[in-house]
């Protein structure tokens, strides 16, 4: 009988991250300086990031060693299990085999510590004492709070105000790991003050919180900024997820047909799927499906243009699919998917046709989450539920077409701190938002001229 959970031993854990850059079908367009609009050099990034991470950002080396200290911390929860969702398959009466990589077993409850620990390590190594960051739902903030705590560093988290109000327990988790949490927009930064002057009731957005966190970091010598997604080095760290998945599938002799992940900034989807890219590029038939909310349809409705990474135009300008840096998505419960752009690496592959994208409304996403919770047990994060919805849809297609495909999705996090979202769903208070086409067009008018 096939095992339900496929484990790797600690000795089998990958010891290198996979860098997709040398395997890209064409080079990544360079990031630009927000002021001069000229290509950025490492020195421009030095006030924001440590050199170790800047080097990874531009590295063309395919394999990068994971430092021993980071491996040792990873062992607190890694390798994570690859699970067969047998009871979900049975409920769907699908001939497809559904597997999920369970990243929810980390201390913070998601994939985010894979990069938080690595980023804290590289900063600490270069003498940085304090990290600042933004967080949406609080998953990233709690992961960085955890990472900083392990390396004895201070951590300041700007938390998108709507999530700060919806998710008090995430704030408490961050504070338990020693972080200071500020609802954003705040009056602690010039960027925050400007937004509040225009709209005192602003719900906040990741774009605004990033502006605040970057401004805070560059003002202080002892501080650097840390981003939980989007950047090349973040995706690099997340490839441990896909590398383990690959080894686990190999153990049971399974060949994936479809890989699915939700996309906020793109780190869990990319880290999970990129290690399979070399074979896809060689012609192997594996579909990569990125899933996003209809309320923030970056890939499905955005444009592939240069845009600012943040609202206040402090962060670098990068070429990505974007809804415009002034886009403020509605306060849906998948807070971690409310970002106006997405990772340049992912956007390039999407633009080149290697990745497909779908968007879903939050009510059908929560229906999928409920089915998963009631069959497989674990309550998914609202972000993760987007991937589950797509996996279920693909499994239903397999049933209609009588196809025995292997569907693998990334279970990016649990929803134990998102129960208020489940409460809203169960009491039928969740609204579906289709972001109006005119509003998207309006936000796209402000793209920088480069």
Ligand X SMILES: Cc1ncc(COP(=O)(O)O)c(C=O)c1O
| Of residues 256 and 266, the one with the C-beta less far from ligand X | 266
| Of residues 194 and 361, the one with the C-beta less far from ligand X | 361
Minimum CB separation of residue 230 from ligand X in Å reads 7
Q: Check residue 381 for interaction with ligand X (CB under 6 A).
A: yes
Minimum CB separation of residue 72 from ligand X in Å reads 24
Q: Which of residues 165-224 bind ligand X (CB under 6 A)?
A: none
Q: Binding mask 263-302 vs ligand X (x if CB under 6 A, - otherwise)?
A: xxxxxxx---------------------------------
Q: How many residues bind ligand X (CB under 6 A)?
A: 21
Minimum CB separation of residue 160 from ligand X in Å reads 10
Minimum CB separation of residue 395 from ligand X in Å reads 20
The stretch among 87-95, 131-139, 195-203, 364-372 that binds ligand X (CB under 6 A) is 131-139
Name which position in 44, 383, 393, 394 contacts ligand X (CB under 6 A).
383
Minimum CB separation of residue 93 from ligand X in Å reads 28
Q: Check residue 136 for interaction with ligand X (CB under 6 A).
A: yes
Q: Binding mask 12-51 vs ligand X (x if CB under 6 A, - otherwise)?
A: ----------------------------------------
Q: Check residue 137 for interaction with ligand X (CB under 6 A).
A: yes
Burial degree of 68 (CB within 10 A; 0-12, 13-18, 19+):
exposed
Q: Check residue 229 for interaction with ligand X (CB under 6 A).
A: yes
Name which position in 21, 94, 106, 110 contacts ligand X (CB under 6 A).
110
Minimum CB separation of residue 400 from ligand X in Å reads 29
Q: Check residue 412 for interaction with ligand X (CB under 6 A).
A: yes
Neighbours of 87 (CB within 10 A): 15
Rounded Cα–Cα distance for residues 214 and 55 (Å):
19
In the complex, residue closest to ligand X by CB? 336
Minimum CB separation of residue 383 from ligand X in Å reads 3
Name which position in 207, 336, 341, 344 contacts ligand X (CB under 6 A).
336
Minimum CB separation of residue 327 from ligand X in Å reads 16
Q: How far is CA 161 from CA 203, 421, 434, in A?
A: 5, 16, 22
Q: Check residue 362 for interaction with ligand X (CB under 6 A).
A: no
Name which position in 98, 208, 209, 262 contacts ligand X (CB under 6 A).
262
Residues forming the site for ligand X (CB under 6 A): 110, 136-137, 139-140, 229, 262-269, 336-337, 381, 383-384, 412-413
């Amino acid at each position: 009988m096939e095992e339900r959970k496929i484990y790797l031993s600690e000795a089998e854990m990958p010891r290198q991250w996979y860098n997709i850059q040398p395997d890209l079908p064409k080079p990544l367009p360079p990031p630009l300086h927000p002021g001069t609009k000229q290509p950025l050099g490492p020195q421009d990034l030095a006030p924001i990031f440590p050199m170790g991470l800047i080097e990874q950002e531009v590295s063309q080396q395919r394999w990068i060693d994971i430092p021993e200290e980071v491996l040792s911390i990873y062992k607190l929860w890694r390798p994570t299990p690859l699970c067969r969702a047998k009871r979900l398959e049975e409920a769907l009466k699908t001939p497809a085999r559904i597997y999920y990589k369970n990243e929810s077993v980390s201390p913070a409850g998601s994939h985010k510590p894979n990069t938080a620990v690595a980023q804290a390590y590289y900063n600490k190594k270069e003498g940085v004492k304090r990290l600042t960051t933004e967080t949406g739902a609080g998953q990233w903030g709690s992961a960085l709070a955890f990472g900083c705590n392990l390396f004895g560093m201070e951590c300041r988290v700007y938390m998108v105000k709507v999530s700060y109000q919806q998710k008090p327990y995430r704030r408490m988790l961050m504070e338990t790991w020693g972080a200071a949490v500020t609802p954003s927009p705040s009056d602690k930064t010039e960027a925050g003050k400007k937004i509040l002057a225009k709209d005192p009731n602003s719900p906040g957005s990741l774009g605004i919180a990033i502006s605040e966190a970057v401004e805070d970091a560059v003002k202080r010598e002892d501080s650097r900024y840390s981003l939980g997604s989007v950047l090349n080095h973040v995706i690099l760290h997340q490839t441990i997820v896909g590398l383990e998945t690959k080894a686990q599938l190999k153990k049971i002799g399974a060949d994936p047909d479809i890989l699915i992940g939700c996309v906020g900034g793109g780190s869990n989807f990319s880290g999970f799927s990129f290690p399979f890219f070399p074979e896809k590029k060689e012609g192997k038939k594996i579909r990569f499906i990125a899933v996003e909310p209809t309320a923030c349809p970056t890939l499905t409705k955005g444009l592939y243009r240069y845009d600012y990474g943040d609202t206040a135009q402090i962060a670098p300008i990068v070429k990505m699919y974007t809804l415009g840096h002034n886009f403020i998505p509605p306060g849906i419960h998948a807070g971690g998917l409310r970002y106006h752009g997405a990772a340049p690496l992912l956007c390039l592959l999407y633009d080149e046709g290697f990745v497909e994208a779908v968007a879903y409304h939050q009510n059908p996403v929560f229906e999928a989450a409920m089915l998963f919770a009631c069959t497989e047990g674990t309550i998914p994060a609202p972000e993760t539920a987007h991937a589950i919805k797509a996996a279920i849809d693909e499994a239903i297609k397999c049933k209609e077409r009588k196809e025995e495909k292997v569907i693998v999705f990334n279970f990016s996090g649990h929803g134990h701190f998102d129960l208020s979202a489940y409460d809203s769903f169960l009491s039928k208070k969740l609204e579906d938002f289709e972001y109006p086409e005119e509003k998207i067009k309006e936000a796209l008018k402000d793209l920088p001229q480069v």
